[in-house]
Amino acid sequence: MKARLKGFMFLGVILLLVIASGCGGNKGNTSSSTTTNQSTNQLVIGLDNDPPQLDPQKSSAAVDRQVFQSIYNTLVDIDVNGKIVPELATSWKITNGGKVYTFNLRKDVKFQDGTPFNAKAVKFNFDRELDPKSASPRLSEIGSISKVTVLSPYQVQVTLKQPFSPLLSILTDRAGMMLSPTAVKKEGANFSNHPVGTGPYKFVERVKQDHITVKAFKGYWGKKPKIQTIVYHPYADGNVRLTNLTSGNVDLVNTIDYKDIDRVKKNPNLKVDEKDAIGFQGIVLNVHQAPLNNVKIRQAINLAIDRESIAKVIFHNYVTPATSPLPVSSWAHDSSLKQTTADTAAAKKLVQESGLKNVHFTLKIPAGSAQNQQLGQMVQSMLKKVGINVKLEMVEFGTMIQQGTEHNFDAINLGWSGRMDPDGTIYSWFITKGGNNDMGYSNANVDKWLNQARTVSSKQERTQLYHKISQQLWKDAPYISIYYPNDYKAMKKSVQGFQHYPDTMIRPETISLK
Amino acid sequence: MGEPQLQSETVNRVQINPLRKKRNKSYSKLMKNKLAVCGGIFVVLLVVLAVFAPLLAPFDPTKQNYGQILKPPSATHWFGTDTLGRDLLSRIIFGAQVSLKAGLISVGIALTIGIPLGMISGYFRGFWDEFIIMRVTDAMLAFPSLVLALTLAAVLGPSLNHAMIAIGLVFTPYFIRLARGEVLAQREREYVSAARASGLRNFSIMMRHVFPNILGPLIVQATLNVASAIIAEASLSYLGLGTQPPTPSWGAMLAEGQGYISQAPWISIFPGLFIFLAVISINVFGDGIHDWLDPKLK
């Protein structure tokens, strides 16, 4: 019994220590500048996850790209305003009604293993992505390419099956990243462990779940990077990531929890950089499952949710309330959809008109995320007011995604990181039988408009089509858009020259340490 | 049938009586164990909180008030408010319901399955004991209990009821083991031989003679397991596999407050404190009962 008591005393002491350490979090950072990486030649970046893949053509996690940006270059890139600019391709021409893209390539580029970069390398990369045998997630993005031809050593032609206006935008992402053909042939499936590109930094080593190190590439064609070494550390837990930033172990983190933004802003050693979101967050409704197969109920949900309150209470107004899946920052956003507060009376009326009694459904939310649980509880309480009972069920994220794909749910809380082009943001979500269409939604008009918006090249025409789509989605309400998750990067004040790109990816070559 | 039974009861009484006398005498001994009394008082307090929760709680535990989020403890909200502006004191009070329910029902499940199996196993021995019940028990004990409970809860689906079933099943082997061990010791005693000699059927011997004699250790084990079950429920809810929101559970509240430990430490301190107090008081109370029931201790 005595031993047991001792054990409890010990537990009690630990509990007190934990509480004390938590309370002291804000004060302990004045001495942080004296800790570990004072060297101005090393930048430590904290990521929200350990990148599963270092092969861009196999990657399906956004966090991979944070590392890719240092190792690889893309054919074309975006600038800080999201405009397409040259990178490995110096110029391009679109001919034959948008079906043929001819790229002129930079001539002074070498891969980090010495292999020269040229039209053959570009063709090699496209062929690898397009080969069904490589099962590349890129195939669904650039599947419209029918063939790639080498016109001259530094000129390459991409021919499409039909016009596809989002192509350039897609090539600023992983599909346009160029891998060294020599390294790919040599390493085969092991390429992910020995990645070689043309980027400003060369891969050095990786210890899974611990760090990835890259070093400045001496033969880089562009402006020489100022920082010599970059170390990426994964911290899945937001609190741990922030603690490492405040304690000085990390210079820059790729994202912070919304609840911590105010704290970081108040910290004299840190600063926050903000950029509008390109993705959306909300609730997927299974349109084949009662009572959500009733459009009136779905519309009622759309009207019952007070997005302003959610943004304020959970996200401290660091997100933007959403009425469509196309965010405010996108040129395709339809600002005529304004219902960001609840219209409880109208929602109640819709529930009555549906003729259904005892309306209830289960909302699945990812386990382990306090934010999502709060969101679920707020939605639950808002829908209760209009006569819809929601049961919440916490499900492990991977399982939830799988149940979504199998349509085994009533409703799930799920969003999308989004893409630079609106097509990449919504096509796979709302096209009939689309890869992300967990709702099982199908509307002939939406299908038609989505496909048209891919093929026409005039931005004005595309904008009109996307407005029509947004309005139809508001009426059909297969997906309840709740907020656009704006991007926040937190860093030490000593980090200079950081540029915030709309795709949220860190391009480290411009960064220096004071 | 009447006569042998009478006889055996006499035999039995001879065995038990000295123990009983000692127990009666030492009621005062239990009261002298101050720690156990304190534990007992807190346990009673918890039961009162749980039973009269709707009367005691100042607010509706699920009522969200967006104007009052993350407020520190004050005269209106004694324990402060959480991320959705709910009154923490009310949530703690209703959380006691969940914790006690989880503790009692899951241990109840473990007792109902564990004691009969353990007794049958120990009393009859043989193939069923050696090769089936004990081997299954060993296999279950080979897993760390929380991992097993996690797996079961994940398979059954997340809900308080499923968590209680999972915890109950995980605790069952401990009761099987204990009941079997006690029965093994008792079955060789003379009163059992006497009862058997007097022609009593096995079932009656087990129920009327063996069972009362193994009850003491089982009660102690059950009390201690209630505390473990409360921790297990809190752990499962913390991980999202137990009580589902918005029902207040101390474990889930702890998880909710975790991210706010520096801005609003009260969200996690109070549920943490209550889990701590509940578990420690049930444990010292259980230890007190143990000392009281154990004839070897003075």
Q: Give the pLDDT confidence of A4-15 residue by residue, as tens digits.
A: 555 555 555 555
Instruction: Note the maximum CA span of chain A.
Output: 86
- Report the C-alpha gap between A320 and B32 in whole angstroms: 63
- Verify whether the Cβ–Cβ distance B241 to A8 is below 8 Å: no
Residues of B in contact with A245 (CB under 8 A): none
CB of B262 closer than 8 Å to CB of A377: no
- Report the C-alpha gap between A339 and A336 in whole angstroms: 9
Q: Is B70 within the bounds of a domain? A: no
- Note whether A190 contacts B: Cβ–Cβ < 8 A: no
A38, two tokens: 């004072």
Q: Is B34 within the bounds of a domain? A: no
Is the confidence at residue B169, as pLDDT, over 80?
yes
pLDDT at A311: 95
pLDDT at A220: 96
A413, two tokens: 């809380």
Q: Is B42 within the bounds of a domain? A: no
pLDDT at B25: 53
CB of A337 closer than 8 Å to CB of A323: yes
- Verify whether the Cβ–Cβ distance B259 to A5 is below 8 Å: no
Burial (CB count within 10 angstroms: exposed 0-12, middle 13-18, buried 19+), residue A187:
middle
CB of A241 closer than 8 Å to CB of A46: yes
- Verify whether the Cβ–Cβ distance B69 to A313 is below 8 Å: yes
Residues of A in contact with B35 (CB under 8 A): 5
Mean pLDDT in residue range A272-294: 94
In B, minimum Cα distance to A6 occurs at: B280
Instruction: Note the maximum CA span of chain B.
Output: 76
Mean pLDDT in residue range B193-203: 90
Question: pLDDT by residue (tens digit) across A370-401?
Answer: 888 899 999 999 999 999 999 999 888 888 88
Sketch out chain A's domains with CATH numbers.
37-69+189-275+488-513 (3.40.190.10), 76-184 (3.90.76.10), 280-486 (3.10.105.10)
Confidence band, pLDDT 50/70/90 cuts, at residue A28: very low
Is the confidence at residue A33, as pLDDT, over 80?
no
Q: Is B66 within the bounds of a domain? A: no
Mean pLDDT in residue range A94-107: 95
- Verify whether the Cβ–Cβ distance A22 to B261 is below 8 Å: yes
What region, left, alpha or beta, does residue A69 occupy, with left being phi > 0 and alpha being psi -120 to 50 degrees?
alpha
Structural domain including B265 reads: 101-298
Compute the CA torsion angle B151, B153, B158, B163 (nearest 10 deg).
Answer: -150
- Report the C-alpha gap between A8 and B34 in whole angstroms: 17
Smallest CA-to-CA distance from A462 within A91, A169, A90, A143 is with: A169
> CB-based contacts of A311: which residues, under 8 Å, 6+ apart?
A317, A319, A320, A321, A483
B5 or B256: whose pLDDT is higher? B256
B61, two tokens: 């535990």
Q: Is B241 within the bounds of a domain? A: yes
DSSP labels, A379-397: HHHHHHHTTEEEEEEEE-H
A429, two tokens: 């979500």
What region, left, alpha or beta, does residue A248 occupy, with left being phi > 0 and alpha being psi -120 to 50 degrees?
left
A235 to chain B, minimum CA–CA distance in Å?
A: 14
For A513, other C-beta atoms within 10 Å of its C-beta total: 19
* Phi, psi at A484, each rounded to 5°: -100, 120
Residue owning tokens 């993005």: A141
Q: Is B125 within the bounds of a domain? A: yes
- Verify whether the Cβ–Cβ distance A23 to B262 is below 8 Å: yes
- Verify whether the Cβ–Cβ distance A368 to B239 is below 8 Å: yes
- Verify whether the Cβ–Cβ distance B154 to A396 is below 8 Å: yes
Q: Is B217 within the bounds of a domain? A: yes
In B, minimum Cα distance to A11 occurs at: B276
Strand blocks (E) in A318-407: 320-321, 359-366, 388-395
Q: How many residues does chain A have?
A: 514
On the question of a cis peptide bond just before residue B248, with omega within 30 degrees of 0, the verdict is no
Q: What is the mean pLDDT of chain A?
A: 90
Smallest CA-to-CA distance from A440 within A402, A474, A478, A412 is with: A478
Question: pLDDT by residue (tens digit) across B123-149?
Answer: 988 888 888 889 999 998 898 888 888
- Verify whether the Cβ–Cβ distance A239 to B83 is below 8 Å: no
Q: How many CA atoms lie within 13 A of B114 on its CB side?
A: 28
ipTM above 0.95? no
- Verify whether the Cβ–Cβ distance A26 to B154 is below 8 Å: no
> CB-based contacts of A216: which residues, under 8 Å, 6+ apart?
A200, A201, A202, A224, A225, A227, A228, A229
Number of domains making up chain B: 1
What region, left, alpha or beta, does residue A102 occupy, with left being phi > 0 and alpha being psi -120 to 50 degrees?
beta
Q: What percentage of chain B exceeds 70 in pLDDT?
A: 88
Smallest CA-to-CA distance from A484 within A332, A329, A372, A320 is with: A320
Question: pLDDT by residue (tens digit) across B204-224?
Answer: 999 899 999 898 899 999 999
Question: pLDDT by residue (tens digit) across A304-324?
Answer: 999 999 999 999 999 999 999
- Note whether A309 contacts B: Cβ–Cβ < 8 A: yes
- Report the C-alpha gap between A27 and A189 in whole angstroms: 48
B194 to chain A, minimum CA–CA distance in Å?
A: 37
DSSP labels, A161-185: SS--TTHHHHHTTGGGBPPPHHHHH
For B172, other C-beta atoms within 10 Å of its C-beta total: 23
Residues of A in contact with B258 (CB under 8 A): 239, 370
B227 to chain A, minimum CA–CA distance in Å?
A: 13
Put simply, the chain A residues between 58 and 87 with a CB less than 8 A from any chain B CB are none
Residue B156, domain CATH: 1.10.3720.10
Return the HEC string of chain B.
CHHHHHHHHHHHHHHHHHHHHHHHHCHHHHHHCHHHHHHHHHHHHHHHHHHCHHHHCCCCCCCCCHHHCCCCCCCCCCCCECCCCCEHHHHHHHHHHHHHHHHHHHHHHHHHHHHHHHHHHHHHCHHHHHHHHHHHHHHHHHCCHHHHHHHHHHHHCCCHHHHHHHHHHHHHHHHHHHHHHHHHHHHCCHHHHHHHHCCCCHHHHHHHHHHHHHHHHHHHHHHHHHHHHHHHHHHHHHCCCCCCCCCCCHHHHHHHHHCCCCCCCHHHHHHHHHHHHHHHHHHHHHHHHHHHHCCCCC
- Kindly give the residue spans of alpha helices, DSSP state H, lying in A72-166: 119-130, 139-142
- Verify whether the Cβ–Cβ distance B256 to A238 is below 8 Å: no
A60, two tokens: 């399906």
Q: How many residues does chain B have?
A: 298
Smallest CA-to-CA distance from A179 within A339, A68, A89, A310 is with: A68
Residues of A in contact with B265 (CB under 8 A): 19, 22-23
pLDDT at A7: 52
Give CA angle at A287 (A281, A289), nearest 5°: 120
Question: pLDDT by residue (tens digit) across A328-345?
Answer: 999 999 999 999 999 999
Q: Tell me, what DSSP letter sits at residue A416?
A: B
B240 to chain A, minimum CA–CA distance in Å?
A: 5
Residues of A in contact with B283 (CB under 8 A): 4, 8
Which of B151, B239, B262 should one mutate to test binding to chain A, selecting the residue with the greatest count of A CBs within 10 A? B262
How far does CA B180 lie from the centroid of its chain? 19
Question: pLDDT by residue (tens digit) across B1-27?
Answer: 333 333 334 344 444 444 454 555 556
B171 to chain A, minimum CA–CA distance in Å?
A: 20
Three-class SS of residue A428? helix
Residues of B in contact with A370 (CB under 8 A): 83, 255-256, 258-259
DSSP bridge pairs for A148:
A158
Is the confidence at residue B41, as pLDDT, over 80?
yes
pLDDT at B89: 96
Q: Is B111 within the bounds of a domain? A: yes
- Note whether A22 contacts B: Cβ–Cβ < 8 A: yes
